Amino acid sequence: MAAVLSLQDVRFAWSAHAPPLLHVKAFSVARGERVFLHGASGSGKTTLLNLSSGVLLPQQGRLQLLGHELTTMPSAARDRLRGAEVGYIFQMFNLLPAFNALENVCAPCRFSAAKRQRVAAQGLSVEDAARHLLLALQLDPQQLATQRVSRLSVGQQQRVAAARALLGAPPLIIADEPTSALDHDVREQFLDLLFAQCQKFNIALLLVSHARELGRRFDRSLAWRDLNRAGDT
């Protein structure tokens, strides 16, 4: 199965004099695969996600997103690639506060022609595709079109954020502690909906969390301490 994301001997430190924060010998995510990475808060998991999406660059190693070598790519091209091929879900504070929910879902398509094209290939406008996704995630698009995002519950906000990450069917979705602010039932429901949509569009999911028990629901579950060898060197 072709790798959507691939890291080989990647080392990262915040500065040349600082001790290495991250050293990943080999790590990859296949197309459509659901990978869970668990570890303690503040251990560097988010840095891995920043590297995986091309926002940060490692000092050493090879880092490929859909076959594109991010370490040699100009920063503007990396931004374009991330906008086109990656969807992102944060733990909380996920949404642009000045935009309503529907506008938030549509926002990535404003930055990416590739996402717009993929939406158009489904025979839908960006707004219609966003409404379909919101419905699939059990949200009322009519109501959300006029509602301020700050008035939504945390669970609703996470589903809006998921819809935004899924719109345009990017090959990879990165989720950084997306369920930490949700209670058990809402968390399970959120993951059900997210998995269903990922499966529908064959989207790979890389989800990091400190909650180890989530791992049973994924294709692959990894411990961050096993993946990151920075402390060993």
Partner 1 sequence: MLLRVAAKNLLYRRLTTALMVVAIAAGVSLLFAIERVRSGARESFASTVAGIDLIVGARGSPINLLLYSVFHLGDAVNHISAATWQELRQHSAVKAAIPLAMGDSWRGHRVIGTTADYFTHYRYGDQRQLVFSAGRAFTGLFDVVVGHAVAQRLSQGLGERLVLAHGVSEVSFNVSHDDMPFTVVGILARTHTPTDRSLFVSLPAITALHRDADARTAPLELPTLTAVLLKLQEKFTVLALQREINTHRPEALTAIMPSVSLRQLWQTLGVAERVFLLLSFLVFGISLLGMTVALLIGLDARRQEMAVLRAIGASPRFIFAVLIVEALLISLAGIVAGVALSYMGLYAFEPLLATKLGLTTGMFTPAATDVWFLLAIIGCALLAGCVPAWLAYRGSLADGLTVRMG
Binding site for partner 1 (CB under 8 A): 46, 49-50, 53, 55-56, 75-76, 79-80, 82-84, 86, 88, 90-99, 103, 107-108, 110-112, 164, 176
The identity of residue 81, as a single letter, is L
Judged by CB, which is closer to partner 1: 164, or 184?
164
CB of 216 to partner 1, least distance (A): 27
CB of 51 to partner 1, least distance (A): 9
Judged by CB, which is closer to partner 1: 71, or 189?
71
Residue with tokens 């717009």: 116
Judged by CB, which is closer to partner 1: 35, or 109?
109
Judged by CB, which is closer to partner 1: 110, or 220?
110
Ramachandran bin of 51, using left for φ above 0, alpha for ψ from -120 to 50, beta for the remaining angles: alpha
CB of 55 to partner 1, least distance (A): 4
216 with 184: CB under 8 angstroms?
Answer: no
Side-by-side strand order, sheet with 172-176? 86-89, 172-176, 204-209, 34-38, 220-223
| 230 vs 233: CA distance, rounded Å | 6
CB of 57 to partner 1, least distance (A): 10
106 with 126: CB under 8 angstroms?
Answer: yes
